[in-house]
């Protein structure tokens, strides 16, 4: 064994120990691996840095941008209402809806982004139905992982496809994972609705239900907005009929804030100052009612009807502090024409340790006042560039560009169609879709930079040279020959089963991304040395790297739901291990049926 092979083994062992110990970040470990192999002259400079220009990295970069565009335009969040409709009636249906919708979303974006998009919808679903979060959070994570097994756009699948291309083999197409992935999703959903549901925690006092309280709900409670919220009906002879809010001078005349208008079955939150009031409109107002003013304006309070929510994903609450040298200090909101200037309504003012909720329009503003703002998330986002107000916190789940959701959906559909039915490289097609998202204003370039999965990109680019070194030093071939000597009568399907077991174990220890990079050269070496189908073995490794159900460490999505669900390692083992066995044998059946491994 020469020096290069020995150094590669040392690097592999050291990387494994560091990854398991979690003493350093995985992406930093990956960079150390890359530099060691390069400086040790195991690889040429071109091979050392090839990961940064690889198709896997470019695909992940493009998918990150497309995913964020879908989130910011609210395209993916519309699934929340679908989940509520599908899951109405029973907990089993709620779990099935959560599994299927999260699996559907993960077809179009990486799993972490999919959970980030669907999590707020599941939180809303849990609140609406009175379902405890620990009954839905694990199905959300597992559904996302199962859906990721049905698409190319999952990190480990992208890595194996890139490895095939590097080896001169045909890379995977977007639809190559569907024949096995769809049965996997159905089997996993059936399990979670039946046996898995029975194994989920029935009660969990450690679950952090506050994780599911949105920023708007938290601020509404803090400022006690519901204490003085009312629903008023505009009668036909009301003097404000056919006038805009600005013309009616509503705030000065009544001392009330209009937070929303119910018109028929439509709720208009944070109406603009030029909104025209119509007969029989129902006004969601905040403030203290004056019976004489209500009578003079021909307004009738509706007491028997539940009040609508004052915020959704496009209209939110946020806090902003008046800056020290702001020109509005010493003036009232009416004098600075706050609503017209910012397109936002001030729902309350925090002063001297308590909220002020009434007659805000004529209140003289002071330095240090905290304004509770109600309005479009996009308008609140623009306050980051304003010198008069200091925005304290933005709602992370807010939809900034709801008017662009059809554009984002069209771009995503076009990207997927081009990747599916044309011979164009998937990486280039996905990157083109990301550029279209930027050109059409679905998100800005700065926002794209902030939301790219840089950790995954550096992890893959840094570990890619290790995969190359295992091949160039002959270690991959030696490892395969060792396995074949131990199991001389091993069938192609048996070899695929062995690779999947190795992928499962490495995934629990070092993540599916690293497992894919380590096992890819072994699968390709086995195919080259024995005449097996390289794409079939690569498929086995890719899907084996998604067997991440048995522990919270198998995939970041498990960690994302662990705290809000209050789960423990035992919960994952109890629910996830049987699911792993079911999915394992389902994948093996698919490999035999669709990829000819027998």
187: nearest Cα among 584, 582, 588: 582
The strand pairing partners of 269, in sequence order, are 260
pLDDT confidence bin for 191, thresholds 50/70/90: very high
H or E, element range at 180:
helix 178-193
Q: At what angle do helices 137-148 and 91-106 cross, to 10 degrees?
A: 40
Say how far apart CA 447 and CA 67 lie, in whole Å.
Answer: 12
Say how far apart CA 72 and CA 466 lie, in whole Å.
Answer: 37
Q: Are 363 and 37 in contact (CB under 8 A)?
A: no
Q: What is the mean pLDDT of residues 156-166?
A: 94
Render pLDDT for 222-239 as a digit per residue (tens, 0 to 9). Answer: 888 888 888 888 888 777
pLDDT of residue 252: 66
Check the CA dihedral 276-279-281-286 and report its sign.
Answer: positive
pTM of the predicted model as reported, rounded to 2 decimal places: 0.80
User: For residue 377, what are its two tokens?
Assistant: 């998330």
Residue scoring higher pLDDT (208 or 40): 40
Say how far apart CA 405 and CA 392 lie, in whole Å.
Answer: 27
Residues in CB range of 270: below 8 A, 6 or more apart: 259, 260, 315, 344, 345, 374, 375, 376
Calculate the dihedral angle through the C-alpha atoms of 434, 435, 437, 438, rounding to the nearest 10 degrees. Answer: 130
Residues in CB range of 299: below 8 A, 6 or more apart: 232, 233, 234, 235, 238, 283
Render pLDDT for 463-476 as a digit per residue (tens, 0 to 9). Answer: 999 999 999 999 99
pLDDT of residue 516: 95
pLDDT of residue 507: 93
> What average pLDDT is seen over the chain?
88
Say how far apart CA 57 and CA 8 lie, in whole Å.
Answer: 23
Residue 80 above 70 pLDDT? Answer: no
Residues in CB range of 498: below 8 A, 6 or more apart: 483, 487, 490
Residue 213 above 90 pLDDT? Answer: no
């Amino acid at each position: 064994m020469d020096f290069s092979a020995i150094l590669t083994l040392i690097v592999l062992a050291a990387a494994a120990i560091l990854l398991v110990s979690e003493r350093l970040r995985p992406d930093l470990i990956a960079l150390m691996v890359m530099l060691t192999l390069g400086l040790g002259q195991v690889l040429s400079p071109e091979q050392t840095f090839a990961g940064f220009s690889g198709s896997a990295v470019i695909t992940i970069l493009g998918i990150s941008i497309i995913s964020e565009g879908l989130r910011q335009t609210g395209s993916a969040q519309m699934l929340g209402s679908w989940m509520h409709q599908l899951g109405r009636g029973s907990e089993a249906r709620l779990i099935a809806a959560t599994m299927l919708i999260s699996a559907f979303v993960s077809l179009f974006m990486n799993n972490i982004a999919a959970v980030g998009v669907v999590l707020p919808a599941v939180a809303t679903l849990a609140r609406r139905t009175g379902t405890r979060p620990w009954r839905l959070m694990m199905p959300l994570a597992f559904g996302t992982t199962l859906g990721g097994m049905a698409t190319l756009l999952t990190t480990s699948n992208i890595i194996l496809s890139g490895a095939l291309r590097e080896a001169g083999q045909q890379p995977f197409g977007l639809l190559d994972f569907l024949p096995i992935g769809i049965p996997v999703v159905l089997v996993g959903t059936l399990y979670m609705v039946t046996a898995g549901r029975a194994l989920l925690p029935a009660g969990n006092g450690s679950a952090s239900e506050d994780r599911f309280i949105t920023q708007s709900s938290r601020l509404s409670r803090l400022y006690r907005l519901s204490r003085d919220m009312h629903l008023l009906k505009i009668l036909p002879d009301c003097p404000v009929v056919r006038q805009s809010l600005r013309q009616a001078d509503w705030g000065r005349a009544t001392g009330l804030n209009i937070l929303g208008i119910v018109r028929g079955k439509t709720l208009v939150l944070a109406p603009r100052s030029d909104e025209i009031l119509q007969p029989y409109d129902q006004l969601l107002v905040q403030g203290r009612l004056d019976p004489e003013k209500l009578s003079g304006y021909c307004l009738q309070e509706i007491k028997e009807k539940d009040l609508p929510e004052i915020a959704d994903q496009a209209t939110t609450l946020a806090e902003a502090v008046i800056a020290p040298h702001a020109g509005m200090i010493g003036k009232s909101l009416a004098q600075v024409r706050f609503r017209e200037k910012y397109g936002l309504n001030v729902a309350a003012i925090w002063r001297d340790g308590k909220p002020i909720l009434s007659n805000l329009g004529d209140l003289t503003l002071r330095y240090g006042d905290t304004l509770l703002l109600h309005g479009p998330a996009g308008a609140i986002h623009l306050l980051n560039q304003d010198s008069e107000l200091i925005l304290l916190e933005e709602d992370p789940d807010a939809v900034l560009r709801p008017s662009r959701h059809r554009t984002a959906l069209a771009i995503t559909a076009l990207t997927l169609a081009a990747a599916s039915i044309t011979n164009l490289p998937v990486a280039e097609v996905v990157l083109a879709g990301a550029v279209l998202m930027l050109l059409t204003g679905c998100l800005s370039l700065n926002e794209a930079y902030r939301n790219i999965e840089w950790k995954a990109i550096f992890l893959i680019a840094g570990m890619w040279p290790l995969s190359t070194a295992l091949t160039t030093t002959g270690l991959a071939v030696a490892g395969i020959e060792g396995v074949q000597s131990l199991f001389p009568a091993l069938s192609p399907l048996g070899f695929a089963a062995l690779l999947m077991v190795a992928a499962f174990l490495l995934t629990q220890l070092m993540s599916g991304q690293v497992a894919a990079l380590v096992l890819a050269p072994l699968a390709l070496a086995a195919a080259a040395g024995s005449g097996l189908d390289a794409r079939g073995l690569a498929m086995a490794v890719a899907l084996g790297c998604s067997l991440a159900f048995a522990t919270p460490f198998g995939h970041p999505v498990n960690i994302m739901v662990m705290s809000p669900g209050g789960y423990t390692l035992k919960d994952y083992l109890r629910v996830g291990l049987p699911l792993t066995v079911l999915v394992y044998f389902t994948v093996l059946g698919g490999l035999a049926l669709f990829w000819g491994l027998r």
